[in-house]
Amino acid sequence: MSHDSMLPFANHLWQSTLFAIAVWLITLTLRKNRAAVRHRLWLAASVKFLVPFSLLAGLGSHFQWETSVTPPPAVSMIVETVSQPFSASGVSVIPPGTASAPQASRIFAVLVGVWICGIAANLFWWLIRWRQVRRAVRLAAPADLDGSVKVMYGPARFEPGVFGVFRPVLLLPEGITQRLSPAQLQAVLAHELCHVRRRDNLAMAIHMAVEALFWFHPLVWFIKARLLEEQERACDEEVLLLGGDPQVYAESILRICEIYLTSPLICVSGIAGSNLKKRIEDIMRNRVALNLSLSRALLLAVAAIVALAGPILVGVTRVNAGESQSSELVVLPTLGPIVISEERPSSPQTAQLQRPPAAPVEIATAPQAGRGWSTRVGATNSWQTATAQPYRLGEVKVNGAKVLHADLIRSLLGLVSGRVYNESALRQGFENLKHLYGNLGYVNFLPEPEVDFDEQQRVVNLTVNIDEGAQFTVNRISFTGNTTIPDEVIRREILLKEGEVFNASLLYLSLSRLSQLGFFEQIGIEDAWIQPSASEPKVDVNLRVKEKAR
């Protein structure tokens, strides 16, 4: 696992955090409504940590509409920024050759190790507690109480509770019939049966998985407290709604808390959980909670539909947007891979900086009925069009990449399985990738894509072979043409430093800064002479300037 592979995880945490905050705001507006509604909302916030939006968006990418509806650019930008604030393009990539790379890798490894240790500690702690409850169930004896749930008498130290998710067992402490009055015992049984009907054990078991994976997130612990509180209040409301006496019911809860210990597992529903003082006050008030009004029920239904269907529609929109960009670029099957006919120059640094026009790509085009041809496709991407269904990306492989992670390269190239194959976008992606490698000092970078078209499945399998070359550093920076302006004044505007990794973008920016001083005529990239060393991966940079007449 690398830095770049953590970007989806960081976006998922961000999305889950926003979702939980939205749920919290909604529950504030439902304080006078039934606790069962708030409990379901908090459960949805917990489940969201297990369901990334990217999974739903990926599901949507497998669908397409006949009519492509592309949202306005401003809306798309807002959606992308809010849903995915951490992107590959916004990440500072640290090349292995720099001094800070080992330290960053060590910090990253330590963080991952701490996360895994936290998961292991949570699972171990839950296992110990589960074994305690399991041992109590094994030692329990059947009770002579009739009901829809199996009732057993267990150790006398634990409070009454429901054990089990799919086959629940109501575990009562031995001697409880002597400690509680019949009316109080009936109230306790009614409370526990409410937990069974609501399947609270299943809900808490789900949150236990969330808590184990995301133990470091404060909102996960906040959601746990809210789930426990709302599930107990929901059972209290149901017991009173069924005709329970508030005085007897409150006394039974206080008596249980006085005599017995709380269950060691949150997925074993008891009776003494949540804020006891507030619960007793609410029970004695015997306030009838409001049912959801039609308007609020509709708003919650719309919010649920948006939360589920929104990411799916985003995936569908992305696919349609890709199709609209390539609607006139319907690809005919090729007979061989795309070969970039660009020879590596003898002075690669100069070629990288001066950006000569890239040689066109030779694409062997499948012959039409009765004739055949081989078409040269240049920067204009003049494709042979057809009415056939466009190809989609299938398997995408990246070979030879050592500096950048393969997942980051796929992201920069926009290669997502299931999307429409667009060579024009792929060419632009390679230019961006070459620019990024050039900024990291790998100016000899050379990508070689191999494309395999499956005509029957209308799928393109792509293999990207990467030749990174060596990483170049700056050996010496010199200046010519300055007669009155000292070298020190010019050197202050140069962002490239001797001994550091060569960076093409810093050179371009340095030339712009020099031009803005007002001392020289306009300085272009043609005024920068890059001389590579014949024996080592170093370059000398000489800048030619012309002072303005005064």
pLDDT in tens, 344-358: 343 444 444 443 344
364 shares its domain with 478? no
- Has residue 301 been placed in a domain? no
508 shares its domain with 435? no
pLDDT given at position 118: 93
CA distances (Å), origin 101, targets 95, 104, 105, 106, 283? 6, 5, 6, 9, 60
Asked whether residue 121 carries a pLDDT value surpassing 90, the answer given is: yes
- Has residue 304 been placed in a domain? no
pLDDT given at position 219: 93
Asked whether residue 434 carries a pLDDT value surpassing 90, the answer given is: no
Q: Please provide the average confidence, as pLDDT, over all residues in the chain.
A: 75
> What's the average model confidence in pLDDT over 233-262?
84
Per the structure, how many domains does the chain have?
Answer: 3
140 shares its domain with 159? yes
189 shares its domain with 137? yes
- Has residue 321 been placed in a domain? no
Instruction: Pick the range with the lowest mean pLDDT from 73-77, 83-87, 232-236, 448-452.
Output: 73-77
The per-type count for the chain, helices as H runs and strands as E runs, is 17, 13
- The residue type of 454 is D
User: Which among 434, 467, 500 is the end of a domain?
Assistant: 467
Instruction: Pick the range with the lowest mean pLDDT from 90-94, 249-253, 260-264, 295-299.
Output: 90-94
- The residues, ordered by sequence, that sit 6+ positions from 165 with a Cβ below 8 Å of its Cβ are 199, 201, 202, 205, 267
439 shares its domain with 507? no
pLDDT given at position 156: 62
435 shares its domain with 491? no
- Has residue 14 been placed in a domain? yes
- Has residue 127 been placed in a domain? yes
- Has residue 326 been placed in a domain? no
Domain that residue 20 falls in: 4-296
Phi-psi region of 512 (alpha: psi -120 to 50; beta: other; left: phi over 0): alpha
459 shares its domain with 486? no
pLDDT given at position 324: 47
User: Which among 440, 467, 494 is the end of a domain?
Assistant: 467
505 shares its domain with 452? no
437 shares its domain with 485? no
- Write the CATH number for 485: 3.10.20.310
Q: Could you tell me which residues are beta bridge partners of residue 530?
A: 541
- Has residue 313 been placed in a domain? no
- Has residue 394 been placed in a domain? yes
Count the alpha carbons within 13 Å of 533 in the hemisphere toward its beta carbon: 13
175 shares its domain with 228? yes
pLDDT given at position 332: 33
**What are the pLDDT digits (tens) for 363-418?**
333 333 333 333 333 333 433 344 457 888 888 888 988 888 888 888 888 878 88
DSSP state of 158: B
> What's the average model confidence in pLDDT over 268-290?
74
161 shares its domain with 201? yes
Angle 217-221-222 (CA atoms, 0-180°, nearest 5)? 105
As to burial, measured by CB atoms within 10 angstroms (0-12 exposed, 13-18 middle, 19+ buried), residue 403 is: buried
510 shares its domain with 445? no
CA distance 447 to 431: 10
> What's the average model confidence in pLDDT over 117-134?
88
Confidence grade of residue 6 (pLDDT, cut at 50, 70, 90)? low
pLDDT given at position 47: 92
Task: Output 44 or 306, whichever has higher pLDDT.
Answer: 44
User: Which among 434, 452, 467 is the end of a domain?
Assistant: 467
Task: Write down how long the chain is.
Answer: 550
